[in-house]
Each structure stands twice: as C-alpha cells, then as structure tokens.
Amino acid sequence: MPFFEAFTLPTAIYVSERDFSDGKLNNVLIENRVAQAVSEATRMVSGLNFRQIAAE
C-alpha cells in the first residue's frame, strides 16, 4: 500500500567508506544488493505486484 503516494521496495543498501577503494565500490556483497534493488525497481515499474517482489 502506498504511503504518501510512494512505494517502498524491500531491499535497502547501506555502504560506508570502507566499501570503496579509489572511488570504486570494492564489496561484492554490496554489488549484489545493488543488482537486487535495481531488479526489484525494474519489476515494480514494469507492473509486477509489490507482494510478488517482497515474497522473493
């Protein structure tokens, strides 16, 4: 259900300075989370049901 006309996706990404080296992300786990978040956002704007995304 939207809150303030917005949808929240289930994946959050938290990074710190130690996840970067020379300005580039160096943490594979964070890279995987980014890919997961992008996939969820893509499916959301493609019209898939929010509950389908959250269940995965």
Q: Which long-range contacts (CB under 8 A, 24 or more apart) does 46-52 make?
A: 50/7
Range of the domain at 35: 1-56
Distance from C-alpha of 27 to C-alpha of 18, rounded to nearest angstrom: 9
- Number of structural domains (the chain) is 1
Lowest mean pLDDT across 2-11, 28-37, 46-55: 46-55
The confidence score (pLDDT) of residue 56 equals 62
pTM: 0.65
What was the pLDDT predicted at 22?
Answer: 94
Would you say residue 51 has pLDDT above 80?
Answer: no
